[in-house]
Amino acid sequence: MTTEDGTQGPRRAGEPPSGNPGREAMAQTEQVLGDLPLERLFAKARDEGLWVSSAPAEAVQEAAPEVKRIPVGVRPHSVAVSPDGTRLYVTNFGDSSVSVIDAYGEAVVASHPVGESPYGVAVSPDGTDLYVAATGPGTVTQYSISGDDLVQDGSILSADDHSKRPYGMAVGPDGRVYVTLALSDTVLVTDRFLKNPTSIPDIDFPVAVAVSKDNARVYATNYFSKSVSVIDASGKAALAKISVGNEPYGVAVSPDGTRLYVAHFPGTGSVSVVDIAGQTVVSTIPVGDGPRGVAVSPDGTRLYVTNFFADSLSVVTL
């Protein structure tokens, strides 16, 4: 389906792929391989030397040094930070676990099994609940946080009720949960108990999502259109797209709302720094191999990036 401006919009049910070569190739590959999650396809292509990495953006200066690289689980996908900044939570796609990291000690202090092939992860504003999106069963699960333990006594949202394959996640300051449903070109919004879902439609293959601290804006990476959608959180409609370069995946917004941090996967091991007001990439940050998920510490001094192919988490000083 083509929009008035000539770009490819979301497909209707039963409509063939949009004409985007990347989407068509992925759709055909998944049909042949039995609907495997996107990460398995990337890993298979990488291991067999079939994937050619590309630069994330035009030439800009590098900024912000990596100060630490923390080993985590297998094929880490996303990262979330507790509201007090003391704990990091990393979903490990390869071994279906969540690593709990002491942010100050910079070491894994616990690991917990979760649903098969976990992608997104987010923490509630009060730090009492963790949400994990697992693409294997197609669910989002709410866990209670008890020290460094996770207790599955909360709600479970089945993606079968809306669309398959939850990807990225975020929780807004008001407790609303945002889940990207990339194959449906949709961002799903629920309350903190994963109930009363509504949808933000017409977001081009959103794979990750972030919410501003003032709860006014939602940002979703558009993987195949090399951009980030800027969404009005109250009106639940896209306002603009910011061009950020090839393969944008994970996204985080700075606490002061002036910067976006966008990981490019597979990319060339870097994160783009985006000036939101100017809607431009102003610098890049070198990290590990296959940057995926991105999170910023509550005080805005640290950036955390999962390195999918290096089984590690980069810690960057901002």
**What would the two tokens of residue 192 be?**
């903190």
Residue 268 buriedness (CB in 10 A; 0-12 / 13-18 / 19+): middle
In a domain, 13, yes or no: no
With cut-offs at 50, 70 and 90, classify the pLDDT of residue 289. very high
Q: Which of 207, 280, 217 is nearest to 249 (CA)?
A: 207
In a domain, 201, yes or no: yes
Residue 153 confidence (pLDDT): 86
With cut-offs at 50, 70 and 90, classify the pLDDT of residue 5. very low
Whether residue 119 is predicted with pLDDT greater than 70 in this model: the reply is yes
Whether residue 33 is predicted with pLDDT greater than 60 in this model: the reply is no
Show Cβ contacts of residue 59 under 8 Å, excluding neighbours closer than 6 positions: none
Residue 184 confidence (pLDDT): 87
- Residue 128, Ramachandran bin (φ over 0: left; ψ between -120 and 50: alpha; else beta): alpha
Whether residue 206 is predicted with pLDDT greater than 80 in this model: the reply is yes
How many other C-beta atoms can be found within 10 angstroms of the C-beta atom of residue 115?
20
Residue 16 confidence (pLDDT): 34
With cut-offs at 50, 70 and 90, classify the pLDDT of residue 66. confident
What are 307-318's pLDDT values in tens digits? Answer: 999 999 999 999
Show Cβ contacts of residue 163 under 8 Å, excluding neighbours closer than 6 positions: 181, 183, 184, 186
For the chain, the domain total comes to 1
Q: Which of 85, 157, 143 is nearest to 113 (CA)?
A: 143
Q: What is the mean pLDDT of residues 148-154?
A: 93
| Neighbouring-strand partners of residue 296 | 303
Residue 118 buriedness (CB in 10 A; 0-12 / 13-18 / 19+): buried
Average confidence score pLDDT of the chain: 84
φ, ψ of residue 172 in degrees (nearest 5): -80, 170
Whether residue 233 is predicted with pLDDT greater than 80 in this model: the reply is yes
More confident residue, 36 or 318: 318
Residue 84 confidence (pLDDT): 97
**What would the two tokens of residue 200 be?**
């933000």
> Is the separation of the CB atoms in 204 and 10 below 8 Å?
yes
Show Cβ contacts of residue 235 under 8 Å, excluding neighbours closer than 6 positions: none
Rounded distance between C-alpha atoms, residue 62 and residue 284, angstroms = 5
Rounded distance between C-alpha atoms, residue 288 and residue 128, angstroms = 30
Residue identified by tokens 């191999």 is 289
In a domain, 15, yes or no: no
With cut-offs at 50, 70 and 90, classify the pLDDT of residue 237. confident
With cut-offs at 50, 70 and 90, classify the pLDDT of residue 158. confident
In a domain, 22, yes or no: no
Residue 7 confidence (pLDDT): 35
> Is the separation of the CB atoms in 211 and 233 below 8 Å?
yes
Q: What is the mean pLDDT of residues 52-64?
A: 56
In a domain, 152, yes or no: yes
Rounded distance between C-alpha atoms, residue 121 and residue 243, angstroms = 25
Show Cβ contacts of residue 246 under 8 Å, excluding neighbours closer than 6 positions: 54, 55, 56, 57, 226, 264, 267
Domain that holds residue 114: 66-317
Q: Residues 109-116: contacts with CB within 8 Å, 24+ apart?
A: 109/148, 110/148, 110/149, 111/73, 112/149, 112/150, 114/141, 114/143, 114/150, 115/139, 115/141
Find the CATH number of the domain harbouring 151: 2.130.10.10
Q: What is the pTM for the complete model shown?
A: 0.85
In a domain, 41, yes or no: no
In a domain, 312, yes or no: yes
Rounded distance between C-alpha atoms, residue 79 and residue 210, angstroms = 12
Residue 291 to residues 54, 95, 198, 201, 240, Cα–Cα distance (Å): 13, 18, 30, 27, 25
The identity of residue 24, as a single letter, is E
% of the chain exceeding 90 in pLDDT: 68
In a domain, 245, yes or no: yes
